[in-house]
Amino acid sequence: MMKRKNTMEERNAAPAATRSNTSRGHRAPKGVLRRLLKTLFEFYPVLLPVTLACILINALVSSVPAVFLQKVIALVDQSYKSGDWSAVSGQILRLVGILVAMYVISLIAGAFYTQMMAIITQGSLKKMRQKMFNHMQDLPIRYFDTNGHGDIMSYYTNDVDTLRQLISQSLPNILISAITLFVVFCIMVYYSVILALVVVAGVVCMTVSARAITRRSSAYFLRQQITLANAEAFMEEMMTGQKVVKVFCHEDKTKADFDKVNDEIFFNARNGNRFANVLMPLLGNIGNVMYVVVALVGGALLLSDIPNISLSGMAFSISIVVPFLNMTKQFAGSIGQVSNQINMVIMGLAGAHRIFSLLDEEPETDEGYVTLVNAKENADGTLTECPERTMVWAWKHPHHDGTITYTRLTGDVRFYDVDFGYTPEKTVLHNISLYAKPGQKIAFVGATGAGKTTITNLINRFYDIADGKIRYDGININKIKKADLRRSLGIVLQDTNLFTGTVMENIRYGYLEASDEECIAAAKLAGADDFIRRLPEGYNTVLRSNGANLSQGQRQLLSIARAAVADPPVMILDEATSSIDTRTEAIVQRGMDALMYGRTVFVIAHRLSTVRNSDAIMVLEHGHIIERGSHDELIAQKGKYYQLYTGAFELE
């Protein structure tokens, strides 16, 4: 069992633990780049290889001018010695023509790959966001109870943005630079092993310097990603609780808290960029020194007539030294390009690791095989499955012998000796046994934390029990598919959630195929029709920011109407009228009574007046049912319920 987010400390601790796991010592974990590349190939199995081929062509062409330069200088030197320019002019023009043709091909390949990379980059980000969101819909409630919402939002903003830079800029530049380095080094060895070794010595100095600096900068860039997520979580929490901040005059304290978070981002970003900004000038100067050393060594070799060691077998000449200097400059520049992208790669891999950590979260498991279907009753009383909505629902139960039985959905819910804890070491429900027959209204009362909401969370399997059984129409709920189980339940929570869209769309959220007439009928049943028609656009009024332009009571009425349009046989009302004033409650109660008629209803309420007409009232204390019975029976017992009802004890 996972931990539920009950207290402020628990909410703050859970994201911190997640962030700690994400940082992993502030180093990008191994295998992330390989997994990212594999994912990109899955997204674009044809376009990506074609684009890589164009990148390869572009890199190869940028690497070979030194070969043409060597040949041209050799021909010029030959013509100078022979005094016959006409003998080599045709060859030089042919070499220049080939080089121009190659540059044209490179230009076309470069233009193509830059356009394709824009498609691949934005398309990959779109598919990655879609993949994350789809996976998030399959995560269990416990994930959202133990992770900050702002931290989750950071996956879609900061982390995805680092992928954009990585895919569109860093990876192509590194690939081009790597190909250029390999080809140029091969050409160097082909012309002169001695000069190539001089370049290798310079490369070693550049590599050691780059590693020392990037090790420092990468740690800060990784921390920057984590602190950005912290800041987003903080701002989301502050915006949600802005009224509370103002009511308690906590503006100055909030500013101070934000300054701490913001300072942490500044510290990490400043230090990361400080080290990163040192890298390019340092590598550039090492490259300049390497250029000078190659020139000196090459000149010394020309003057001393030392035999050239090379794969080409050519002697030292000006036609080798001059192209070698250009290749040295190109080689140093390519290393600088790679080093310049290292920090972006590290940030991108940090973002990719966080994204993959979300995708690796275990989805909600579902071993159920009993499904909910529309049915019609035959003359002999048996049920037959049918595609259209008949208002008769049945559980379709396949058996091991291949037979299928249909059980009418009536809303019979029974608990047998149920134990449950959000964490294994702490049990919050103890030996809970109860039953709700079809059409009965069962009420749960008790102090905050007694376990009332937890019981309803177990009915819809937001969490699974540790011991005991829960049967729904005689079927163990573990055998029922979760989606079908929840489709049979209507839930009205204390905290309402309205989505951006019209009033009609928010009501239809309970049943997407409902007609406008059915939505209006549900609103009338809940007592919401009157105030809806007074809105500027009536049912077409657009709601934003969780219905901020409505009162809390009006939002709750819409939430009740949304449950009513689903027309489920079982209703769970968790403090459904707690945010409604007494006058509005009287209006709502009539609609609620109509809504509850003929249904099994579980009611959680602090206002004991709302549970008087319940068939059975369960009094909970510390996870135990200490009293049960009707209102009159419990009053006669003069126990805890009597004390609560008469005001001897407060529910809180």
Least confident of 104-113, 189-198, 327-336, 348-357: 327-336
Least confident of 28-37, 60-69, 346-355: 60-69
Question: Which range, 226-235, 396-405, 589-598, has the best average confidence (pLDDT)?
Answer: 396-405
pLDDT band at 243, cuts 50/70/90? low
pLDDT (0 to 100) of residue 516: 92
**Mean pLDDT of the region 407-424:** 91
pLDDT tens digit sequence for 9-31 = 333 333 333 333 433 344 555 68
Mean pLDDT of the chain: 82
pLDDT (0 to 100) of residue 16: 36
Query: Domains in the chain, start-ordered, CATH in brackets?
Result: 28-359 (1.20.1560.10), 371-408 (no CATH), 413-646 (3.40.50.300)
pLDDT (0 to 100) of residue 434: 92
Q: Rounded to whole angstroms, what are the CA distances from 182 to 64, 177, 331, 342?
A: 12, 9, 9, 18
Count CA atoms closer than 13 A to 422's CA, side-chain side.
Answer: 19
Q: How far apart are the first and last CA of the chain?
A: 27
DSSP 8-state secondary structure symbol assigned to residue 170: I
pLDDT (0 to 100) of residue 22: 39
This prediction has a pTM of: 0.74
d(CA 198, CA 290): 8
Backbone angles phi, psi at 434, to 5 degrees: -160, 165
DSSP 8-state secondary structure symbol assigned to residue 125: H
pLDDT band at 326, cuts 50/70/90? confident
d(CA 62, CA 102): 9
Percent of the chain at pLDDT above 90? 24
Look at residues 334, 369, 374, 389 and name the one whose alpha carbon lies nearest to residue 515: 389
pLDDT band at 8, cuts 50/70/90? very low
**Mean pLDDT of the region 315-339:** 81
pLDDT tens digit sequence for 457-479 = 899 898 889 899 999 999 999 99
For β-strands 624-629 and 616-621, DSSP reports them as antiparallel
Instruction: State the Cα angle at 196 between 195 and 202, rounded to 5°.
Output: 95
Question: Which range, 138-147, 251-260, 358-367, has the best average confidence (pLDDT)?
Answer: 358-367
Percent of the chain at pLDDT above 70? 88
- The answer to whether 317 and 302 have CB atoms below 8 angstroms apart is yes
Look at residues 179, 182, 58, 60 and name the one whose alpha carbon lies nearest to residue 113: 58
pLDDT band at 2, cuts 50/70/90? very low
pLDDT (0 to 100) of residue 444: 92
